[in-house]
Copies of this chain bind each other. A is one copy, B any other.
């Protein structure tokens, strides 16, 4: 986190408060449990979701203690979903570090994720939050879960459709981004128009963020992302660059390649080449850009303040990549 927010000392300080709150809420008489979660808190995550929540809250009149608490909850929910996802994906690395499931075993990872969920609910129940925000949080949780389940169920579905892909990433990524933006504003008693607009900024930024992440899988490398290149493909998750490339795959060569569940390095390389040849990545970038533009257009209409500037720079920094 350190480097990412270094230009914004107030936000940086606040995110450290959130981090301390997370640490306090994962402390437990089971030291093993704390040890398993701590590296995730201190690791290289950008804490984007709590940062967006804090920034959004500044459009209203935030009660710092309540806002830090809910920001911590959002990050902990995110951590819980990552831990459970890594079980499903059998992932060895996450943000360049070994995953909980790899280090402690899948069994333990199930409970560690559950423990984080429980602590989130405790943290929400013990503050006097707006009932509407609680409803939104629980709705977003279901969306995330359904997104993951749909993604899992559609593994190896050769004719993966754009529509399903959009549905999946709306759930698994954009829902929590939208929630962070909206809840920050709503808890700070912003007027409904601004809160909703911030929620939509979150949604569009989240969509672009996930698409870009999926694009990097087709032209990034392991060192850069801290995760194995093309891990999604090997697990049968067909993301946007591949879906768009398949539309141009007239001779069925690409389709035949991905049909193989045990891909060699050679075949993986060929898939990447074909996806790029068929403009899968460049067309996916266009889709991401459309979401980014929508987010930026809405940002421009927000009332002028420092938060607006930080949100704009951050969205541009994250989403306007050179690839």
Contact residues of A with B, CB < 8 Å?
28-30, 32-33, 84, 87-88, 106-108, 110-111, 113-115, 117-119, 121-122, 124-126, 128, 131, 134-135, 137-139, 141-142, 145-146, 148-150, 152-153
The A contact surface, by secondary structure, is helix
The answer to whether B152 touches A111, judged by C-beta atoms less than 8 angstroms apart, is yes
Please name 7 further chain A to chain B contacts, defined as beta carbons within 8 Å, in addition to the given A121-B138, A122-B138, sorted by A numbering: A28-B146, A30-B149, A84-B110, A107-B152, A110-B110, A122-B135, A125-B138
Q: Provide the residues of chain B in CB contact with A87, threshold 8 Å.
A: 106-107, 110
Question: How far, in whole Å, are A141 and B123 apart by their CA atoms in the complex?
Answer: 12
Q: Which residue of B lies closest to A128 (CB)?
A: B131
Complex copy number for this chain = 2
Minimal beta-carbon separation of A78 from chain B (angstroms)? 14
Question: How far, in whole Å, are A134 and B146 apart by their CA atoms in the complex?
Answer: 24
9 contacts between A and B (CB under 8 A): A29-B146, A30-B150, A84-B111, A88-B110, A106-B106, A117-B117, A118-B142, A121-B141, A125-B135
Minimal beta-carbon separation of A66 from chain B (angstroms)? 15
Q: Provide the residues of chain B in CB contact with A141, threshold 8 Å.
A: 118, 121-122
Q: A84-B111, A88-B110 are in contact. Are A122 and B149 (CB under 8 A)?
A: no
Among B28, B121, B135, contact of A126 (Cβ-Cβ < 8 Å):
B135
The answer to whether B106 touches A122, judged by C-beta atoms less than 8 angstroms apart, is no
The answer to whether A119 touches B107, judged by C-beta atoms less than 8 angstroms apart, is no
Q: A30-B149, A30-B153 are in contact. Are A125 and B131 (CB under 8 A)?
A: yes
Minimal beta-carbon separation of A319 from chain B (angstroms)? 28
Q: Which residue of B lies closest to A132 (CB)?
A: B125
